[in-house]
């Protein structure tokens, strides 16, 4: 993967260092932007730093993953993201069992109707935009939550492994969910390289990925990462059914719809595993993490709702939801 194009002083400093520039140029104490979740510069800088922990960049030595100066910047940006998420969500305390509380949290969530729009109204160009946004996470689907495996007690660990085995195709690389997403990208005429569309997506799209990476990479947030996964799985099955219908409405093949088709059934099972065995298993073994499970779940919903609002507002206003006009997609239209 190539390094992205900078979007402001912070991402420019990080990218410049990764290109061989002087690490003394990295800010010690970067200012907090007004809108952390939507800030293009901050979210791109953080996304770039996190990618060093996944597949890295072609021109950057693997050893930069643990470069102290970069970790210092990462921690400063994570503190801003974490504070913004904690300010964004409020979780009511109550005594019900964890799975029931998660269900109530999900049921009370009244997010923007993006999946209905994509099912019934979105044109091909809007669908291309949506898939481009989703490619940022879906091409590494499951990876951020995998970081949690060695950090969990037995019952929760077993449940997470069971979910992740499905996500990674159960031993068949062609069934890995990220690979199924590639099939969809290719049929739509889009490129399928990991990170291929990072330059065209806004900060809020990167914030979805960054939230998961932060929860996954910090052991102290292991409650939040399992809560995040539970919310993700519990809100996946029905929207995926709508996405598959929307794609078929546009004449997309069964093979390319498979990514969404498999999630209709897989995530109906995953949500049970995630709410009961994963989240309850962790809360039982480490009760002090219980509230962070709900924080992670609520953060997942909040960031995704904010993303959906951005996309629908853009379309309502007759604009592209991507940063650059749709020129990048013309080839695919």
Residues that bind Fe ion (CB under 5 A): 167, 177, 233, 267, 270
Residue with smaller CB distance to Fe ion, 157 or 177:
177
Q: Report the alpha-carbon distance of residue 84 to residue 38 in Å, rounded.
A: 11
What is the closest distance, in whole angstroms, from the C-beta atom of residue 248 to Fe ion in the complex?
Answer: 20
Q: Report the alpha-carbon distance of residue 237 to residue 253 in Å, rounded.
A: 20
Residue with smaller CB distance to Fe ion, 177 or 222:
177
Residue with smaller CB distance to Fe ion, 72 or 272:
272
What is the closest distance, in whole angstroms, from the C-beta atom of residue 269 to Fe ion in the complex?
Answer: 8
- Identify the residue whose tokens are 């951020």: 144
Residue with smaller CB distance to Fe ion, 177 or 182:
177
What is the closest distance, in whole angstroms, from the C-beta atom of residue 241 to Fe ion in the complex?
Answer: 14
What is the closest distance, in whole angstroms, from the C-beta atom of residue 195 to Fe ion in the complex?
Answer: 19
Q: Report the alpha-carbon distance of residue 294 to residue 271 in Å, rounded.
A: 15
Q: How many CB atoms lie within 10 A of CB 187?
A: 15
Residue with smaller CB distance to Fe ion, 7 or 177:
177
Q: Report the alpha-carbon distance of residue 150 to residue 148 in Å, rounded.
A: 6
- Residue nearest Fe ion by beta-carbon distance: 177
What is the closest distance, in whole angstroms, from the C-beta atom of residue 109 to Fe ion in the complex?
Answer: 18
CB 292 within 8 A of CB 223: yes
What is the closest distance, in whole angstroms, from the C-beta atom of residue 160 to Fe ion in the complex?
Answer: 11
CB 17 within 8 A of CB 74: no
Strands (E), the chain: none
Residue with smaller CB distance to Fe ion, 179 or 233:
233
- Identify the residue whose tokens are 């910090």: 218
Reading the block at residue 125, the tokens are 């160009």
């Amino acid at each position: 993967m190539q390094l992205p194009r900078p979007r402001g002083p912070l991402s420019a400093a990080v990218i410049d260092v990764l290109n061989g520039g002087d690490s003394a140029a990295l800010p010690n104490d970067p200012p907090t932007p007004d809108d952390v979740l939507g800030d293009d510069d901050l979210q791109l800088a953080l996304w770039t730093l996190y990618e060093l922990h996944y597949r890295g960049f072609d021109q950057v030595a693997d050893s930069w993953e643990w470069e102290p100066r970069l970790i210092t910047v990462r921690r400063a940006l994570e503190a801003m993201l974490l504070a913004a998420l904690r300010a964004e969500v409020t979780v009511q305390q109550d005594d019900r069992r964890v799975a029931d509380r998660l269900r109530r949290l999900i049921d009370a969530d009244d997010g923007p109707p993006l999946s209905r729009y994509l099912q019934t109204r979105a044109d091909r160009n809007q669908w291309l935009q949506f898939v481009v946004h989703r490619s940022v996470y879906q091409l590494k689907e499951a990876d951020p939550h995998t970081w949690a495996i060695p950090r969990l007690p037995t019952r929760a660990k077993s449940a997470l492994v069971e979910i992740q085995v499905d996500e990674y195709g159960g031993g068949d690389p062609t069934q890995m969910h990220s690979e199924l997403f590639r099939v969809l990208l290719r049929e739509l005429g889009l490129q399928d390289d990991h990170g291929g569309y990072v330059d065209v997506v806004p900060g809020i799209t990167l914030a979805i990925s960054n939230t998961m990476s932060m929860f996954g990479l910090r052991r102290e947030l292991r409650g939040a990462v399992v809560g995040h996964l539970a919310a993700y799985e519990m809100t996946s099955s029905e929207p995926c059914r709508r996405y598959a219908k929307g794609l078929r409405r546009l004449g997309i093949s069964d093979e390319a719809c498979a990514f969404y088709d498999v999630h209709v059934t897989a995530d109906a099972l995953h949500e049970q595993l995630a709410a009961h065995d994963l989240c309850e298993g962790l809360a039982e073994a480490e009760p002090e993490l219980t509230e962070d499970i709900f924080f992670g779940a609520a953060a997942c919903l909040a960031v995704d709702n904010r993303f959906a609002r951005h996309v629908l507002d853009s379309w309502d206003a007759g604009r592209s939801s991507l940063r650059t006009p749709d020129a990048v997609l013309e080839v695919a239209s």
